[in-house]
């Protein structure tokens, strides 16, 4: 449960505004809070009336993140929450693949996403047919699929993983004796995971007609897809920031390139990055991930000096607004629906992932 509870239990729009100010005054200008408070009050009222639970990814904008979700977190935490809720409606303030995962885990519930434009460049970077081809090339290798994929791709997979448990999932497969592991679709997460575990890394052939590349044993076989946001951070950006702020703690999401990870102080999922800021004592912190998260952390930790590198934003996460969230609840839109056969097949790799602690 999040600390947004204080805002959610406000009894009037005026009280909602007062509590939003208490929470967000150092981060969101008052004029914006005034614009959003009535909407937030109405979302929280309707949520109770409709027996809905709102899940909010860590990348949501501060006025939404700190005011309406019952649960916030990274992909892994929100997957767990989707499997456990007893609400009738799950309203997912995140991107499509996250809402699909909620639907797979709670197929009899109504799962809503506030915008149809909330995609993901990684998820769009691989198809189910690509996975079938990879399985032909590497018949003995289990397929680990990042949750940032669509349901039909998960349906072709053996295990899912998130950035929070990729190392644990691959370690589990190594302990079962697997020497080749297909890891899809994020090339950088796969490379970073291989580097962390001291494994070889290869990319598959580009053309269907080519012979598969075999790496040194044990190997991770990756795929050529990247997050369009995280791939833009460069090592020289980090060097520049360090010249200006020599003791800054640089915290990178593992969708950043291995070169960027190498010059950062810590790497982890969005949840882990939040924890690093809480636990580390540094004069400044720089997050190499979607910019809104810096604001969300600043609201919660007014004593921490968060630097921002906000030139690159996730256009898909930014599609989810307070206004659309209210419309989603009012009009029961946009409902996530998946073929039952895909739900059944995609559930197994997600369940296997959730069993690994």
Structural Rg of the chain based on CA atoms: 21
Asked if 295 interacts with ligand SF4 (CB under 6 A), we say: no
Terminal-to-terminal C-alpha distance of the chain: 20
Asked if 93 interacts with ligand SF4 (CB under 6 A), we say: no
* Tokens (6 digits) for 74: 């990274």
Q: Which of 81, 85, 145, 163 binds ligand 13P (CB under 6 A)?
A: 163
Judged by CB under 6 A, which stretch of 26-34, 36-44, 156-164, 178-186 contacts ligand 13P? 156-164
The continuous run of DSSP H or E covering 110 comes out as strand 110-112
Q: What is the closest distance, in whole angstroms, from the C-beta atom of residue 29 to ligand 13P in the complex?
A: 27
Asked if 199 interacts with ligand SF4 (CB under 6 A), we say: no
How many chain residues touch ligand 13P (CB under 6 A)? 12
Helices (H), ranges, the chain: 5-8, 13-24, 30-49, 62-65, 75-84, 96-105, 128-137, 151-154, 166-175, 187-197, 235-244, 258-262, 270-279, 292-300, 322-331, 340-355
Among residues 326, 295, 314, the alpha carbon closest in space to that of 62 is found at 295
Q: Which of 60, 170, 229, 297 binds ligand SF4 (CB under 6 A)?
A: 229
Q: What is the DSSP letter of 246?
A: T
Asked if 162 interacts with ligand 13P (CB under 6 A), we say: yes
Q: What is the DSSP letter of 245?
A: S
Asked if 161 interacts with ligand SF4 (CB under 6 A), we say: no
Q: Which of 4, 8, 44, 58 binds ligand 13P (CB under 6 A)?
A: 58
For 113, 230, 237, 262, the CA distances from 234, given in Å and listed in that order, are: 32, 9, 5, 11
Considering beta carbons, is residue 4 or 163 the nearer one to ligand 13P?
A: 163
Asked if 227 interacts with ligand SF4 (CB under 6 A), we say: yes
Nearest-angstrom CA–CA distance, 193 and 289: 18
Q: What is the closest distance, in whole angstroms, from the C-beta atom of residue 310 to ligand SF4 in the complex?
A: 13
Asked if 227 interacts with ligand 13P (CB under 6 A), we say: yes
Asked if 82 interacts with ligand 13P (CB under 6 A), we say: no
Asked if 148 interacts with ligand SF4 (CB under 6 A), we say: yes
Instruction: Enumerate residues 6+ apart whose C-beta is below 8 A from 318.
Output: 61, 292
Q: What is the closest distance, in whole angstroms, from the C-beta atom of residue 289 to ligand SF4 in the complex?
A: 7
Would you tell me which residues interact with ligand SF4 (CB under 6 A)?
95, 120-122, 148, 227-229, 255, 290, 314, 316-317
Would you tell me which residues interact with ligand 13P (CB under 6 A)?
58, 74-75, 148, 162-164, 227, 253, 255, 269-270
């Amino acid at each position: 449960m999040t600390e947004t509870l204080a805002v959610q239990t406000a009894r009037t729009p005026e009280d909602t505004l007062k509590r939003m100010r208490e929470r967000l005054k150092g981060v969101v200008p008052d004029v914006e809070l005034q614009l959003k408070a009535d909407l937030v009050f109405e979302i929280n009222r309707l949520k109770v009336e409709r027996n809905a639970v709102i899940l909010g990814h860590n990348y949501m904008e501060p006025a939404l993140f700190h005011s309406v979700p019952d649960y916030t977190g990274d992909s892994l935490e929100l997957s767990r929450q989707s499997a456990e809720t007893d609400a009738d409606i799950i309203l997912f303030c995140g991107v499509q693949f996250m809402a699909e995962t909620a639907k797979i885990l709670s197929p009899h519930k109504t799962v809503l996403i506030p915008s149809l434009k909330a995609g993901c460049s990684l998820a769009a970077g691989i198809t189910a047919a690509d996975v079938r081809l990879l399985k032909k090339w590497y018949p003995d290798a289990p397929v680990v699929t990042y949750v940032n994929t669509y349901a039909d791709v998960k349906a072709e997979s053996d295990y899912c993983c998130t950035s929070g448990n990729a190392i644990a999932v691959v370690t589990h497969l190594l302990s079962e004796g697997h020497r080749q592991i297909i890891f899809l679709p994020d090339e950088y997460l796969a490379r970073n995971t291989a580097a962390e575990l001291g494994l070889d890394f290869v990319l598959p052939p580009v053309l269907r007609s080519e012979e598969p590349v075999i790496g040194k044993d044990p190997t991770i076989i990756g795929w050529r897809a990247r997050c369009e946001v995280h791939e833009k951070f460069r090592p020289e950006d980090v060097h520049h920031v360090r010249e200006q702020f020599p003791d800054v703690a640089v915290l990178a999401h593992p969708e950043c390139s291995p070169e960027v990870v190498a010059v950062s102080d810590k790497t982890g999922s969005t949840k882990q990055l939040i924890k690093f800021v809480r636990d580390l004592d540094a004069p400044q912190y720089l997050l190499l991930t979607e910019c809104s998260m810096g604001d969300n952390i600043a609201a919660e930790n007014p004593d921490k000096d968060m630097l921002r590198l906000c030139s690159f934003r996730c256009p898909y996460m930014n599609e989810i607004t307070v206004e659309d969230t209210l419309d989603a609840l009012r009009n029961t839109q946009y409902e996530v629906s998946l073929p039952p056969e895909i739900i059944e097949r995609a559930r197994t790799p997600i369940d296997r992932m959730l069993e690994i602690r």
